[in-house]
Amino acid sequence: MKSFYITTAIDYVNGSPHLGHAYEKVLTDVIARFRRQMGDRVHFLTGVDEHGQKVQASARKRGIAPQQFVDEVSAEFRALLPRLNISNDDFIRTTEDRHKRVVRALLQQLFDQGEIYLAEYRGFYSTRQEQFLQEKDRLPDGSWPEIFGEVSEIVEPNYFFRLKKYQEWLVGFLTENENFIFPRYRQKQVLEFLKEPLNDLCISRPRERLEWGIPLPFDENYVTYVWFDALVNYYSAVVDRPGVWPATWHVIGKDILVPPHAIYWPIMLHAAGLPLPHGIIAHGWWLQSGAKMSKSTGHALNPLDLVAEFGADAFRYFLMREMNVGQDSDFTREQFLVRYNSELANNLGNLVNRTLNMTTRFAGGIVPAAETTEEFEKNLHALWEKTRGEIVPLSEGFQFHTALERVMFFLTETNAYIEKRAPWKLGKSADPHDQARLRTSLATMAEALRLAAAALRHVIPATVEKIDAALGYAPGTNWSDELAWGAKLTGAKVTAALVLFPRAAPAEKVAAKS
Q: Does 4 bind ligand MSP (CB under 6 A)?
A: no
Question: At its nearest, how many Å lie between ligand MSP and the CB of residue 412?
Answer: 30
Binds ligand MSP by CB under 6 A, chosen from 83, 164, 292, 333: 292
Question: At its nearest, how many Å lie between ligand MSP and the CB of residue 20?
Answer: 2
DSSP H helices, 177-311, are 184-193, 226-230, 233-236, 265-271, 303-310
User: 57: Cβ–Cβ under 8 A, 6 or more apart, which residues?
Assistant: 127
Nearer to ligand MSP, 28 or 387 (CB): 28
Q: Does 202 bind ligand MSP (CB under 6 A)?
A: no
Question: At its nearest, how many Å lie between ligand MSP and the CB of residue 212?
Answer: 14
Q: How many CA atoms lie within 13 A of 396 on its CB side?
A: 9
Nearer to ligand MSP, 86 or 358 (CB): 86
At 224, the amino acid letter reads T
> Closest by alpha carbon to 56, among 45, 47, 64, 44?
64
What would the x/- binding string for ligand MSP be over residues 106 to 145, using CB under 6 A? Answer: ----------------------------------------
User: 267: Cβ–Cβ under 8 A, 6 or more apart, which residues?
Assistant: 163, 166, 169, 170
Question: At its nearest, how many Å lie between ligand MSP and the CB of residue 256?
Answer: 5
Q: Binding-site residue total for ligand MSP (CB under 6 A)?
A: 21
- The answer to whether 359 and 491 are in contact (CB under 8 A) is no
Nearer to ligand MSP, 325 or 352 (CB): 325
Binds ligand MSP by CB under 6 A, chosen from 90, 255, 465, 468: 255
Q: Does 24 bind ligand MSP (CB under 6 A)?
A: yes
Q: Does 9 bind ligand MSP (CB under 6 A)?
A: yes
C-alpha–C-alpha distance, residues 103 and 173, integer Å: 25
> Closest by alpha carbon to 504, among 338, 322, 302, 335?
338
Among 15-23, 156-164, 208-216, 404-412, which window interacts with ligand MSP (CB under 6 A)? Answer: 15-23
C-alpha–C-alpha distance, residues 16 and 75, integer Å: 10
C-alpha–C-alpha distance, residues 279 and 271, integer Å: 18
Q: Does 20 bind ligand MSP (CB under 6 A)?
A: yes
C-alpha–C-alpha distance, residues 328 and 196, integer Å: 27
Binds ligand MSP by CB under 6 A, chosen from 42, 256, 363, 411: 256
- The answer to whether 132 and 202 are in contact (CB under 8 A) is yes
Backbone φ and ψ of 195, nearest 5°: -75, -25
Q: Does 229 bind ligand MSP (CB under 6 A)?
A: no
Nearer to ligand MSP, 87 or 296 (CB): 296
Binds ligand MSP by CB under 6 A, chosen from 95, 131, 204, 294: 294
**Site residues, ligand MSP (CB under 6 A):** 9-12, 20-21, 23-24, 49, 230-231, 233, 252-253, 255-256, 285-286, 292-294
